[in-house]
Amino acid sequence: MDLRKIPAVVGGSQADRRGVVLAKSIPCKNYGIKTGEPLAKAKEKCPGLVIVPPNYPLYMKCHKALMDILREYSPLVQSFSIDEAFLDYTGMEEHFGPCLKGATLIKNRIREELGFTVNIGISTNKLLAKMASDFTKPDRVHTLFPQEIPSKLWPLPVERLFMVGRATKAKLNELGIFTIGDLANYNRELLGWKLKSHGLLIHDYANGIENSPVLPNDNIQMKGMGNSTTIKFDVDNKKDAHKVLLSLAETVAARLRNEGYKCGVVSVSIKTHEFLRYSHQRKLAAPTDNTNELYEIATQLFDEAWNGEPICHLGIHVSHLYPREFTQYTLFDNVKKGAMLSSLDRAVDNIRKKYGGHSIFRATYLYSGMSPMAGGVGTEDYAVMGNIL
């Protein structure tokens, strides 16, 4: 059975409250099924929907194989996500032919050697190439050069534009903006006054303006990292919420130390059982990579932000990263205590690296039913744009 040709989705565990659509086949579009919606809702739309669990090791294996092929066609390849990448084809024409021929060669080789299909977008910058790659699927090559913007890009609904989500779409609709062309031709100064810097950004995007280079991921400075987790039960008290935040602080702080950074800004995100999302952040007087300090800050932010509703999802995100060697103490810091906590963190990290992540954990998680180290392991927030060719 080819899941690509029937209504099928990859979905998380409903028992663990992760029952959402993570990815969908093209036939799902006929039923109005959307990525991110609850599996129960998707099954209401299509009773015969096939649901398969995620297989992350397989995805990473396919991602690596894809990247290996792309690097044969250019030294400048940037991974954007597990299923997207950007390739600078400048100067490669003499080796593989014009860009359209090269893109077709790459697309066909991926299909024949790896067994899955890709769409490739071609343009003069990352934004337009990404938009082109989202045109008609599957197994297609599309161009979106600047002269094609009025005919190919502007007629599309404004929510199809990169960086225009549901909330932004609603604000744009209130202004009478319904297509990307409406946005492109809207008064820029007024849009900036209404939507601030984000309005100016999407106005540029609607006009095809985007100038960031394609950077191999090894050359991209990390801007931030974070972990979040969906909780198996509704959290309705601070004690349980703090336990979840502690498990997230464990993983985020460990990742900071592993990457050699300290953070200058900490943010806590909350999602209620009614899927209302909000967050709260703080700039630190001095950067940190300490688990206890990160946890204390996170709980303070949570206590200040939480409105008392039952919670189904919590997250910690850190940004404004500095190399670990950069250490700035304030007059109120206990330097000796900080050194002791750093030594403790290093010891715990070493034990976990040698014997596994759950080889040592805090006693508060005994018989709690909660994970002592919650969240994923992937980094995030690299430079966001990139073109596939």
Identify whether 317 is part of a domain.
yes
Q: Per residue in 191-236, pLDDT tens?
A: 999 999 999 999 999 999 999 999 886 655 667 888 888 887 889 9
DSSP state of 50: E
Structure tokens at 93: 């024409």
At residue 384 the predicted structure's pLDDT band, cuts being 50, 70 and 90, is very low
Question: What mean pLDDT comes out for the span 185-191?
Answer: 96
Structure tokens at 92: 């490669």
Question: What mean pLDDT comes out for the span 355-363?
Answer: 80
Identify whether 374 is part of a domain.
no
Nearest of 12, 57, 62, 209 to residue 128 by alpha carbon: 209
Could you give the percent of the chain with pLDDT greater than 90? 60
Largest pairwise CA distance in the chain: 66
Least confident of 67-76, 241-250, 363-372: 363-372
At residue 328 the predicted structure's pLDDT band, cuts being 50, 70 and 90, is low
Question: What mean pLDDT comes out for the span 312-330?
Answer: 78
142, 223 in Cβ contact below 8 A?
no
Least confident of 170-174, 202-206, 312-316: 312-316
Euclidean distance between CA atoms 291 and 317, whole angstroms: 13
Identify residue 342 by its one-letter amino acid code.
Answer: S
Is the predicted pLDDT of residue 326 greater than 60, yes or no?
Answer: no
Euclidean distance between CA atoms 372 and 358, whole angstroms: 8
Identify whether 76 is part of a domain.
no
Q: What are the CA-CA distances from residue 265 to residues 21, 34, 44, 384 (Å)?
A: 31, 33, 42, 20
Nearest of 36, 41, 46 to residue 271 by alpha carbon: 36
Identify residue 37 by its one-letter amino acid code.
Answer: E
Residues paired with 141 in a beta bridge: 120
Euclidean distance between CA atoms 248 and 305, whole angstroms: 17
Question: What mean pLDDT comes out for the span 315-338?
Answer: 69
- Edge-to-edge order in the sheet of strand 261-272: 224-235, 311-323, 261-272, 277-288
Comparing 385 with 147, the larger pLDDT belongs to 147
Identify whether 313 is part of a domain.
yes
Q: Per residue in 65-76, pLDDT tens?
A: 999 999 999 999
Is the predicted pLDDT of residue 17 greater than 70, yes or no?
Answer: no
Is the predicted pLDDT of residue 346 greater than 50, yes or no?
Answer: yes
pLDDT recorded at residue 329: 53
Question: What mean pLDDT comes out for the span 106-122?
Answer: 97
* Structural domain count of the chain: 2
Question: What mean pLDDT comes out for the span 93-109?
Answer: 97
- Average pLDDT, rounded, for the chain: 87
CB atoms within 10 A of CB 340: 11
Nearest of 281, 279, 274, 280 to residue 311 by alpha carbon: 274
Strands (E), the chain: 8-11, 21-24, 50-52, 77-81, 84-87, 120-122, 141-143, 224-235, 261-272, 277-288, 311-323
Annotated catalytic residue 84: yes
pLDDT recorded at residue 337: 62
pLDDT recorded at residue 125: 97
204, 192 in Cβ contact below 8 A?
no
Nearest of 126, 70, 202, 145 to residue 385 by alpha carbon: 126
Could you give the percent of the chain with pLDDT greater than 70? 89
pLDDT recorded at residue 286: 85
CATH of the domain at 16: 3.40.1170.60
Give the DSSP H or E segment for 43. helix 39-45
- Considering the candidates 37, 44, 72, 84, report the single residue annotated as catalytic: 84
Sort residue 209 into left (φ over 0), alpha (ψ -120 to 50) or beta.
beta
Least confident of 38-42, 207-211, 369-373: 369-373
Identify whether 232 is part of a domain.
yes
Identify whether 228 is part of a domain.
yes
Peptide bond preceding 138 in cis form (omega within 30 of 0): yes
CATH of the domain at 288: 3.30.1490.100
Question: What mean pLDDT comes out for the span 94-111?
Answer: 97
Euclidean distance between CA atoms 118 and 142, whole angstroms: 11
Is the predicted pLDDT of residue 288 greater than 70, yes or no?
Answer: yes
CB atoms within 10 A of CB 15: 8
Residues paired with 321 in a beta bridge: 263
Q: Which domain holds residue 30?
A: 3-52
Identify whether 15 is part of a domain.
yes
pLDDT recorded at residue 383: 32
Nearest of 314, 326, 343 to residue 261 by alpha carbon: 326
pLDDT recorded at residue 111: 96
Euclidean distance between CA atoms 347 and 341, whole angstroms: 10
Identify whether 129 is part of a domain.
no
